[in-house]
Structure 1
Amino acid sequence: MAKLKKTPMRQCIGCHENKEKKELIRIVKTNTGEIFVDKSNKSNGRGAYLCNDINCLEKAIRSKALNRSLKIEVPEEILHELEDSMKE
Protein backbone atom coordinates (compact mmCIF):
# COMPACT_ATOMS: atom_id res chain seq x y z
CA MET A 1 0.00 0.00 0.00
CA ALA A 2 1.13 3.51 -0.76
CA LYS A 3 1.55 5.89 2.14
CA LEU A 4 -0.62 8.98 2.19
CA LYS A 5 1.32 12.20 1.89
CA LYS A 6 1.01 14.54 4.83
CA THR A 7 -0.45 17.94 3.91
CA PRO A 8 1.46 20.89 5.42
CA MET A 9 -0.82 22.90 7.71
CA ARG A 10 -0.26 26.42 9.03
CA GLN A 11 -2.19 28.68 11.40
CA CYS A 12 -3.53 32.06 10.29
CA ILE A 13 -2.33 34.78 12.68
CA GLY A 14 -5.62 36.67 12.25
CA CYS A 15 -8.34 34.07 12.87
CA HIS A 16 -6.11 31.31 14.37
CA GLU A 17 -7.61 28.64 12.08
CA ASN A 18 -5.39 25.83 10.80
CA LYS A 19 -5.50 25.62 7.01
CA GLU A 20 -3.46 24.08 4.23
CA LYS A 21 -0.25 25.98 3.59
CA LYS A 22 -1.12 26.64 -0.06
CA GLU A 23 -4.38 28.41 0.90
CA LEU A 24 -2.59 31.06 2.99
CA ILE A 25 -0.55 34.16 2.15
CA ARG A 26 2.99 34.19 3.57
CA ILE A 27 4.67 37.35 4.80
CA VAL A 28 8.44 37.07 5.26
CA LYS A 29 11.07 39.02 7.20
CA THR A 30 14.60 38.32 5.96
CA ASN A 31 17.78 38.47 8.04
CA THR A 32 18.42 41.98 6.67
CA GLY A 33 15.05 43.19 8.00
CA GLU A 34 13.30 43.37 4.62
CA ILE A 35 9.58 42.50 4.78
CA PHE A 36 7.60 41.35 1.74
CA VAL A 37 4.75 39.13 0.57
CA ASP A 38 6.24 35.78 -0.45
CA LYS A 39 4.38 34.67 -3.55
CA SER A 40 6.56 31.56 -4.04
CA ASN A 41 6.26 30.39 -0.38
CA LYS A 42 9.93 29.40 -0.54
CA SER A 43 11.86 32.51 0.50
CA ASN A 44 14.25 32.26 3.43
CA GLY A 45 13.39 34.12 6.60
CA ARG A 46 10.85 34.32 9.39
CA GLY A 47 7.35 33.78 8.01
CA ALA A 48 3.82 34.56 9.12
CA TYR A 49 0.68 33.24 7.47
CA LEU A 50 -2.66 34.97 6.82
CA CYS A 51 -5.90 33.83 5.20
CA ASN A 52 -6.73 35.53 1.92
CA ASP A 53 -9.39 37.53 3.79
CA ILE A 54 -9.35 41.23 4.63
CA ASN A 55 -10.99 40.53 8.02
CA CYS A 56 -8.07 38.32 9.09
CA LEU A 57 -5.62 41.06 8.11
CA GLU A 58 -7.57 43.64 10.13
CA LYS A 59 -7.61 41.34 13.18
CA ALA A 60 -3.85 40.74 12.87
CA ILE A 61 -3.20 44.49 12.66
CA ARG A 62 -5.50 45.35 15.60
CA SER A 63 -3.99 42.70 17.87
CA LYS A 64 -0.43 43.41 16.62
CA ALA A 65 -0.10 39.70 15.79
CA LEU A 66 1.81 40.44 12.58
CA ASN A 67 4.38 42.54 14.46
CA ARG A 68 4.76 39.82 17.11
CA SER A 69 5.10 37.01 14.57
CA LEU A 70 7.78 38.78 12.57
CA LYS A 71 9.40 40.33 15.67
CA ILE A 72 9.54 43.75 13.98
CA GLU A 73 7.25 46.73 13.35
CA VAL A 74 5.61 46.17 9.94
CA PRO A 75 5.62 49.33 7.76
CA GLU A 76 2.33 50.79 6.47
CA GLU A 77 3.38 50.25 2.83
CA ILE A 78 3.59 46.48 3.41
CA LEU A 79 0.15 46.51 5.02
CA HIS A 80 -1.27 48.39 2.00
CA GLU A 81 0.39 45.88 -0.35
CA LEU A 82 -1.26 43.06 1.61
CA GLU A 83 -4.67 44.75 1.41
CA ASP A 84 -4.29 45.22 -2.36
CA SER A 85 -3.28 41.59 -2.92
CA MET A 86 -6.32 40.41 -0.93
CA LYS A 87 -8.73 42.57 -2.94
CA GLU A 88 -7.61 40.93 -6.20
Structure 2
Amino acid sequence: MNRPRKVPMRKCVATGEMRPKKELVRIVRTKEGEVSIDLTGKKSGRGAYLSKNKEAILQAKKKNILASHLEVNINDSLYDELLELIEKEN
Protein backbone atom coordinates (compact mmCIF):
# COMPACT_ATOMS: atom_id res chain seq x y z
CA MET A 1 0.00 0.00 0.00
CA ASN A 2 1.32 3.41 -0.95
CA ARG A 3 0.41 5.98 1.65
CA PRO A 4 0.49 9.67 0.77
CA ARG A 5 3.70 11.38 1.82
CA LYS A 6 3.55 13.64 4.83
CA VAL A 7 4.22 17.27 3.88
CA PRO A 8 6.71 18.88 6.29
CA MET A 9 5.19 22.01 7.85
CA ARG A 10 7.07 24.98 9.30
CA LYS A 11 5.99 28.18 11.04
CA CYS A 12 6.73 31.61 9.56
CA VAL A 13 8.42 33.71 12.28
CA ALA A 14 6.81 36.92 10.93
CA THR A 15 3.18 35.87 10.37
CA GLY A 16 2.96 32.86 12.68
CA GLU A 17 1.30 30.76 9.95
CA MET A 18 2.03 27.06 9.54
CA ARG A 19 2.87 26.41 5.88
CA PRO A 20 4.50 23.67 3.82
CA LYS A 21 8.29 23.92 4.06
CA LYS A 22 8.59 24.51 0.28
CA GLU A 23 6.50 27.70 0.56
CA LEU A 24 8.96 29.23 3.03
CA VAL A 25 12.54 30.45 2.82
CA ARG A 26 15.03 29.51 5.56
CA ILE A 27 17.46 31.99 7.06
CA VAL A 28 20.30 30.32 8.96
CA ARG A 29 22.88 31.52 11.52
CA THR A 30 26.06 29.43 11.64
CA LYS A 31 28.12 28.81 14.78
CA GLU A 32 30.47 31.59 13.61
CA GLY A 33 27.56 34.04 13.67
CA GLU A 34 27.21 34.42 9.89
CA VAL A 35 23.65 34.84 8.63
CA SER A 36 22.68 33.65 5.16
CA ILE A 37 19.72 32.52 3.09
CA ASP A 38 19.50 28.74 2.95
CA LEU A 39 17.77 27.74 -0.28
CA THR A 40 18.44 24.01 0.27
CA GLY A 41 17.00 24.01 3.80
CA LYS A 42 19.84 21.75 4.93
CA LYS A 43 22.65 24.02 6.13
CA SER A 44 23.68 23.44 9.70
CA GLY A 45 22.94 26.13 12.24
CA ARG A 46 20.04 27.93 13.87
CA GLY A 47 17.27 28.46 11.34
CA ALA A 48 14.20 30.65 10.99
CA TYR A 49 11.54 30.40 8.29
CA LEU A 50 9.87 33.31 6.48
CA SER A 51 6.93 33.21 4.08
CA LYS A 52 7.83 33.94 0.48
CA ASN A 53 5.82 37.16 0.34
CA LYS A 54 6.81 40.79 0.52
CA GLU A 55 4.55 41.62 3.47
CA ALA A 56 6.11 38.94 5.71
CA ILE A 57 9.65 40.11 4.91
CA LEU A 58 8.84 43.77 5.49
CA GLN A 59 7.10 42.89 8.77
CA ALA A 60 10.16 40.88 9.90
CA LYS A 61 12.41 43.84 9.02
CA LYS A 62 10.18 46.41 10.75
CA LYS A 63 9.81 44.43 13.98
CA ASN A 64 13.38 43.03 13.89
CA ILE A 65 11.96 39.50 14.20
CA LEU A 66 14.89 37.67 12.58
CA ALA A 67 17.44 39.39 14.82
CA SER A 68 15.62 38.33 17.97
CA HIS A 69 14.93 34.80 16.69
CA LEU A 70 18.50 34.14 15.51
CA GLU A 71 20.04 36.14 18.37
CA VAL A 72 22.32 38.15 16.07
CA ASN A 73 22.24 41.53 14.28
CA ILE A 74 20.78 41.37 10.78
CA ASN A 75 21.98 43.68 8.00
CA ASP A 76 19.39 45.39 5.81
CA SER A 77 21.15 43.82 2.81
CA LEU A 78 19.78 40.40 3.84
CA TYR A 79 16.20 41.72 3.64
CA ASP A 80 16.98 43.29 0.25
CA GLU A 81 18.36 39.93 -0.93
CA LEU A 82 15.19 38.17 0.27
CA LEU A 83 12.96 40.66 -1.58
CA GLU A 84 14.99 40.16 -4.79
CA LEU A 85 14.73 36.38 -4.42
CA ILE A 86 10.94 36.55 -4.10
CA GLU A 87 10.57 38.87 -7.09
CA LYS A 88 12.61 36.45 -9.23
CA GLU A 89 10.34 33.55 -8.30
CA ASN A 90 7.13 35.42 -9.19
Identity of aligned residues (%): 34
**1:6: Cα distance to partner?**
2.7
d(CA) in 1 for partners of 2:80 and 2:30? 19
> 2:27 aligns to what?
27
Indicate the SS of the match to 2:33.
Answer: coil
**1:3: Cα distance to partner?**
4.7
Structure 2, unmatched stretches of 5+, are none
Letter aligned with residue 71 of structure 1 = E
Structure 1, unmatched stretches of 5+, are none
> 2:8 aligns to what?
8
Between Structure 1 and Structure 2, how many residues are aligned? 88
Question: 1:77 and 2:77 equivalent?
Answer: yes
Residues 52-71 of structure 1: pairs in structure 2 closer than 5 A:
52-71=52-71
Q: Which runs of 4+ in 1 moved over 3 A?
A: 1-5
d(CA) in 1 for partners of 2:75 and 2:31? 16
> 2:51 aligns to what?
51
Aligned Cα root-mean-square deviation (Å): 1.3
| 1:5-44 deviation line (CA, Å, top 9, x unaligned) | 3321111112111001111000111001111110111100
Indicate the SS of the match to 1:28.
Answer: strand
**1:82: Cα distance to partner?**
1.0
d(CA) in 1 for partners of 2:5 and 2:55? 31
Superposition TM-score, scaled by structure 2 size: 0.88
